[in-house]
Amino acid sequence: MVFTGGTISMRVVPGRGAVPASGGREILDAVPGLADIASVTFEDFDRLPGPHWTPSRMLDLARRLDDRLDGGEFAGAVVTHGTDTIEETAYLLDLVLRAEVPVVLTGAMKTADDPRWDGPANLRDSVAAVTRLAGEGGGVWVAMHGALYPARTVRKVHTDAFDAFTASAAAGAPRERIATDRLEERVDLVTAAVGADARFLRHAVATGAKGIVVEAMGRGNVPPAMLDGVREAAAAGIPVVVASRCAEGGTSPRYGYEGGGVTLAASGAVFAGDLTPPQARVKLMALLGSGADLAAVRAAFER
């Protein structure tokens, strides 16, 4: 079990709000019954709030898990994590982990000093999930509020409800692996909104972005004033990946009007399918970090 922080480790400090406070030992002491499920070894990796994670720290966690799980001593791993970014870390781990044992991420929606603290139940559920999945190969999941979600499809859909997570309909998608020891962090996320233009796309290019993800509308459409920015980025050899701001469904080139998916595809954009914009960014960082060229990036997303 690897403790990395998040609300599960926090307490409320008067005048400051909820802040990281507890390490693994303190949290485990508040979780009765774990010994009845499995033998648990724990370590403290960090005490990060969800928004404090960086791509490089996510990759550090992946390599740490691989190092610990490589020897066959453990049936799997449970990782505590802040729920704000648990989707991105879970998906990155699913892409890059070499270990062939289950890894379950979990957290809490309430702090440890709240009478409704859900951390202990989520930890017990996570350990039980690892023991149940052991022997079935690798893979990454998120366990929250009595449910287990595949990393590939998990979504946080509520800011503070206990049942804040769900999974999209594409739960049967096969696991994809990207062999890399590096992430290309200079991948920008640009959001399409009514009346948006090409300014932020051009800014991304001018400030050294190596990849761009567009959080597009619907099936993958943008206002017409954004189209030239996509064309210019693609012409400069920068991969542009189109994901959707919709909670369900995928992107594909369907509409032929200016700014529609057909014109984006003609400009050289790649479509992310059913990946969320943050997931598409994680995947593009991993692909570019692995040395993939534009053709390989396109093939990976179209697959």
Catalytic status, residue 7? yes
State the amino acid at position 245 in one-letter form.
Answer: R
pLDDT attached to residue 170? 57
Whether residue 137 sits in one domain with residue 214: no
Domain count, the chain: 2
Q: Answer whether residue 69 is part of any domain.
A: yes
Structure-token pair, residue 178: 């990207």
Rounded-to-10 torsion of CA 256, 259, 261, 262: 40
Q: What pLDDT is recorded for position 169?
A: 66
Of 132, 167, 202, which one is at a domain's C-terminal end?
167
102 with 54, same domain? yes
Residue 208 is assigned to a structural domain of this protein: yes
Same-domain status, 160 and 74: yes
Q: Are residues 251 and 154 in the same domain?
A: no
Has residue 173 been placed in a domain? no
Which CATH number fits the domain that encloses residue 86?
3.40.50.1170
Residue 208: give the domain boundaries. Answer: 187-302
Residue 48 placed within a domain: yes
The pLDDT assigned to 135 comes to 87
In a domain, 174, yes or no: no
- Which positions of the chain have pLDDT values less than 50? none
Question: Which residue do the tokens 């001018």 mark?
Answer: 206
Question: Looking at 106, 132, 167, which one is the last position of a domain?
Answer: 167
Q: Which one of 115, 133, 167 terminates a domain?
A: 167
Is residue 217 located within the same domain as residue 130? no
54 is a domain residue:
yes
Same domain for 143 and 16, yes or no, is: yes
Determine the longest span between alpha carbons in the chain, in angstroms. 61
The answer to whether position 131 is within a domain reads yes
Question: What one-character-per-residue DSSP string does 274-289 give?
Answer: T--HHHHHHHHHHHHH
In a domain, 179, yes or no: no
Which own/partner contact pairs does 164-169 have at CB distance under 8 Å and 24+ positions apart?
164/83, 164/109, 165/83, 168/247, 168/248, 168/274, 169/248
pLDDT of residue 150: 96
Indicate whether 6 and 112 sit together in one domain. yes
Tokens 């790649």, residue located: 270
- Together in a domain, 202 and 66: no
User: Of the residues 4, 7, 85, 111, which is catalytic?
Assistant: 7
CATH number at residue 296: 3.40.50.40
Q: Do 253 and 153 sit in the same domain of this protein? A: no
Q: Same structural domain for residues 160 and 33? A: yes
Whether 153 and 39 map to the same domain: the answer is: yes
Shared-domain flag, residues 160 and 194: no
Full-model pTM: 0.96
